[in-house]
Chains A and B, each alone.
Chain A
């Protein structure tokens, strides 16, 4: 029989097992997980770099494709992280294999951390792939690697946590996609991917400042180009606050058993 007298510390093996399981699940759909965002980035480079880009003015001393690509990269990080965690949680609830972790001696923090680790891996691989493609086609550069990694990890964790909330809440595939359709896509499109704040009419600028995607896109753009439209400290502050609030929210949902336990 197993030794059950040893005190329970952090269950690193359990946490690693969640990562192994989710990586295995992700690798069943490598084209959807990695190739699709890379092809999408290539198309953006082709359209905004070679077709439209030549007719656009320089922005902050950068070519239009250089201005657009960080936003495209951020859109892909947001989508990859949200899809990864929401589908993982939803399918494990739908097929009930989430019960495997519920009956095990894993803590809620370990379960959440395991899910987020996979989200961060997927988003980082996606982001580095797009960065490499961008550099190879002269469509981008890198200004600060630590800053770049901060934005990839922090934003993917925020949307990974949001994906967990939706995965716990959704009772159908339709509900699983609602946040993407009504919140993520619209806010990201008007969050400064294609334009600067200065390009907007003055009465619309407050909307950009109230849009969280603006700070994420601006942050990663600064890490790639060194160009920013708003204080970096404000962007970091808001992002870290959002991360902490989201984590505490998800932890509370797990502790209450919301969407997990009957």
Chain B
């Protein structure tokens, strides 16, 4: 059996406040998959991603990235991953080129390698005319492109996207979709969280739905979205929310 890109077993995260954000979550993402990770706000999606990438400390369970333990062998594991965060966690006075360049540096990329990769990403995301402006001066859509370029600078084997198209216009969303499909077909594994069900339906082959820190439904897109009412009804049923026709009564 091939090594999965991501294997999470019985993950638990309890914050100091006592809030149980993730409660025994297990998940396997195969190499090369485009995996949708859905759930309502506060379900534990971002916390799970934070535990995988080192932003949060798991309280229990194990995480393996391409077979490498993400806690015990964190340096080896992290060089395999790129993370596009939901929030703009950047130095607001830095320029897009600096932000992407520094990230490449943290990953140990040499100056020449960084330059050619950044030139490519600036062109690909049409950031060239804005690359010397301070991040805080950019529009929301441009900021989103910068954090995506930053996530891609090390050309990761596993790309984790936490609501990458939130607040992005339709045009850019389609550009991003095209690019994500392209890098997925090149062999990168992608884990995507999104509140846009249409986006997940268009891009992902496998889907997991999380609620109250646990996986409540998991399967292929056809298994989950194939039933009457599509992905939206499956999502609402799995998360315990009421579909429109019920809520409207």
Contact = CB atoms under 8 A, between A and B. Distances in A.
Contact of A262 (B50, B75, B85, B109): B50
B90 A105 contact: no
Candidate in B56, B87, B89, B155 with the most chain A CB atoms within 10 angstroms: B89
B89 A95 contact: yes
Contact of B110 (A13, A20, A28, A95): A13
B107 interface: yes
A100 B78 contact: no
A104 B103 contact: yes
Given A13-B105, A96-B89, A24 B94 contact: yes
B79 A8 contact: yes
A17 B102 contact: yes
Given A20-B102, A25-B91, A99-B89, A13 B79 contact: no
A2 B154 contact: yes
A107 B87 CA distance: 24
B107 A104 contact: yes
A102 B55 contact: yes
B98 to A, nearest CB: 7
Contact of A101 (B94, B98, B106, B157): B106
B83 interface: yes
Summarize B's interface: helix, strand, loop or mixed.
Answer: loop
Nearest to A111: B106
A14 B89 contact: no
A24 B95 CA distance: 11
B55 A8 contact: no
Interface string A1-33: 110100010010110111011001100100000
A261 interface: yes
Nearest to B87: A96
Contacts, number: 100
A105 B53 contact: no
B188 interface: yes
Nearest to B109: A13
Interface string B92-133: 111000100011011111100000000000000000000000
Contacts of B154: 2
A28 B90 CA distance: 16
A15 B79 CA distance: 15
Nearest to A7: B76
B15 A2 contact: no
Nearest to B103: A100
Contacts of A95: 89-92
A96 B91 CA distance: 8
A173 interface: no
A11 B55 CA distance: 20
A106 interface: yes
B57 A262 contact: yes
A243 to B, nearest CB: 26
A11 B105 CA distance: 9
A103 B81 contact: yes
B27 interface: no
Contacts of B81: 103
A209 interface: no
Contact of A105 (B57, B79, B98): B79
Contact of A13 (B53, B76, B83, B108): B108
Contact of A261 (B56, B94, B103): B56
A8 B75 contact: yes
A16 to B, nearest CB: 7
B53 to A, nearest CB: 5
Contact of A102 (B54, B76, B94, B187): B54
A28 B188 CA distance: 38
Interface in A183-198: none
B102 A11 contact: no
Interface in A64-113: 92, 95-97, 99-107
Interface of A: 1-2, 4, 8, 11, 13-14, 16-18, 20-21, 24-25, 28, 92, 95-97, 99-107, 257, 261-262
Interface of B: 15, 47, 50, 53-57, 74-76, 78-81, 83, 85, 87, 89-94, 98, 102-103, 105-110, 150, 154-157, 187-188
What 9 A-B pairs have minimum CB-CB distances, sorted nearest first?
A: A17-B105, A104-B106, A96-B89, A105-B79, A262-B56, A105-B75, A105-B78, A103-B53, A261-B57
Given A100-B102, A102-B53, 13 more contacts: A2-B154, A2-B156, A4-B76, A8-B79, A13-B105, A13-B108, A28-B93, A95-B92, A97-B91, A100-B90, A102-B55, A103-B78, A105-B79
